């Protein structure tokens, strides 16, 4: 497998990272990509947790609302007779 990066700035950053860490360029890139993936995955999980918390707050608020109007059972009894046929 090969990765052909045609950006001199990226090459320089990889060389510098490898030099600073004592890793090979391949290991430096692998480590950097792995860390970034972990960071992005963590952000995704955090956003999902925030969305779930918001949904749970809405559900809790709806559950606190008073019941207004007939229940499902009352509506069905009014629409259908004892045999299940429309009235």
CA torsion sign, 23 to 29 to 34 to 39?
positive
pLDDT of the residue at 29: 96
Q: Does residue 75 lie in a domain region?
A: no
pTM for the model stands at 0.58
pLDDT score, position 55: 98
Is 2 within a domain? no
What token pair was written down for 67? 């019941």
Q: Is 59 inside a domain boundary?
A: yes
Tokens of 16: 């510098």
Per-residue pLDDT of the chain (87 residues; tens, 9 = 90+): 788 899 999 999 999 999 999 999 999 999 999 999 999 999 999 999 999 999 999 999 999 999 899 999 999 999 998 888 998
Structural contact between residues 23 and 31, judged by C-beta atoms closer than 8 angstroms: yes
**In the chain, which ranges are E strands?**
none
On whether residue 57 sits in a domain, the answer given is yes
20 domain-assigned: yes
Residue at 51 is within a domain: yes
Domain total for the chain? 1
Whether 87 is covered by a domain: the verdict is no
């Amino acid at each position: 497998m090969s990765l052909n990066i045609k950006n001199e700035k990226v090459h320089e950053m990889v060389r510098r990272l490898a030099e600073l860490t004592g890793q090979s360029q391949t290991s430096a890139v692998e480590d950097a990509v792995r860390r970034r993936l972990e960071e992005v995955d963590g952000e995704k999980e955090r956003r999902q947790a925030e969305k779930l918390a918001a949904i749970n707050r809405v559900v809790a608020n709806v559950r606190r609302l008073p019941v207004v109007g007939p229940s499902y059972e009352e509506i069905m009894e009014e629409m259908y007779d004892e045999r299940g046929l429309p009235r």
